[in-house]
Amino acid sequence: MLNRAAPRDPAALPRLALSLLAVALLWPGLSLSELDLGVLLHGDSAATMGHFVAAFWPPEHGREFLELLGRATLETLAIATAGMSLALLVALPAALLASRALSLSAVHRGGRPAWWGALLRWPVRGLLIVLRSVPEIVWALLFVRAVGLGPSAGVLAIAITYAGMLGKVYAEIFESVDPRPARALLGSGSPRLAAFLYGILPNAAAEMLSYTVYRWECAIRASVVMGFVGAGGLGQQIDLSMRMFAGGEVASMLLTFLLLVLLADQLSRLLRERWT
């Protein structure tokens, strides 16, 4: 109040309007999803949850259980890693095909590919959309029926969905980095794949690496969720423990998740430091 003549912030009104708009849009969302926080405080449900959470302490650490946990963790890691490797096999070629960054016709057209080039890229984009539009849990349910209970259903489900996601994001990363080095190489007669390796990859590698490790982390979580439908790993163990109301076991497994995500985070940091 010291400075009464302070100039009015011209951005104040738009900001207020935007906030009101956000609330107006969020409210129907909340009511449509039937979110009711009151249920949490209701006597019965609170007591049930309280019992369940109280059983979390102490986390189960018996020798036999730890062995089981170790096996399940390894299985989860194996599902996530194998799924990611298979996904990469599909995603990398698909990203190269879908990306405009390697268009030969764009070299002499100021960066805009010819219409037939754009047309040829669409089927690949379509394939990537199909692969990622079906959630991995649905693929997992499908594969559990097809190949039976066990980790291979999880691996296939992750491979398919993540191929779609990685392919799309890689293609976009290739297009977002500086296109001039690759264009200069294409303009001096280099093959497209070589132009990619020498012109685009050096600029894109760090971002690709960080996204891939993050997706690997997501694959670990996804493989856990898929364990609930019988696709092996930690998820299957959690499902069993929860059904038996063994809170201590659940707590140990949640701690294991925490460690796994921490591991992925550190790995990502290490790789980025080394490569960028």
Partner 1 sequence: MTLDLSGVGLTHANGQVALRDIDLKIAPGERVAIIGPSGAGKTSLLRLLATALQPAGGRLEVLGADPWRLSAAARQKLRARIGLIHQTPPLPPRQRVVTTVLAGRLGQWSLGKGLLNLLHPLDSAGAAAALARLDLTEKLFEHCDQLSGGQLQRVGIARVLYQAPELILADEPVSAMDPVLAGHTLGVLNEEAARRGIALLASLHAVDLALAHFPRILGVREGRLVFDRPAQALTQAELDALYANEQLQSRPASPPATTPHVLHIPRC
> Which residues sit at the interface with partner 1, rule CB under 8 A?
104-105, 107-110, 112, 178, 180-181, 183-191, 193-195, 197-199, 202-203, 205, 276
Quickly list DSSP for 113-169.
--HHHHHHHHHHHHHHHHHHHS-HHHHHHHHHHHH-SSHHHHHHHHHHHHHHHHHHH
Helix intervals (H) in the chain: 12-32, 38-41, 43-54, 63-98, 115-133, 136-147, 151-176, 180-187, 192-195, 201-227, 234-243, 247-275
Residue 186, exposed/middle/buried by CB under 10 A (0-12, 13-18, 19+)? buried
Cβ 163 to partner 1, closest distance in Å?
23
Of the candidates 203, 200, 202, the one whose C-alpha atom is nearest the C-alpha of residue 185 is: 200
Question: What's phi and psi for 56, nearest 5 deg?
Answer: -65, -30
Question: What's phi and psi for 50, nearest 5 deg?
Answer: -60, -45
Residue pointed to by tokens 């909340």: 30
Q: 107 or 131, CB closer to partner 1?
A: 107
Q: 193 or 259, CB closer to partner 1?
A: 193
Of the candidates 127, 129, 139, 124, the one whose C-alpha atom is nearest the C-alpha of residue 219 is: 139
Q: 56 or 211, CB closer to partner 1?
A: 211
Cβ 84 to partner 1, closest distance in Å?
23
Cβ 181 to partner 1, closest distance in Å?
5
Number of C-beta neighbours around residue 143 at 10 A? 22
Cβ 103 to partner 1, closest distance in Å?
11
Angle at 232 between CA 216 and CA 160, to 5 degrees: 45
Q: 150 or 181, CB closer to partner 1?
A: 181
Cβ 115 to partner 1, closest distance in Å?
14
Q: 38 or 110, CB closer to partner 1?
A: 110
Q: 100 or 221, CB closer to partner 1?
A: 100
Q: 143 or 196, CB closer to partner 1?
A: 196
Q: Would you say 209 and 271 are in contact if contact means Cβ atoms under 8 Å apart? A: yes
Number of C-beta neighbours around residue 146 at 10 A? 10
Q: 148 or 202, CB closer to partner 1?
A: 202
Cβ 127 to partner 1, closest distance in Å?
24
Cβ 182 to partner 1, closest distance in Å?
9
Cβ 190 to partner 1, closest distance in Å?
4
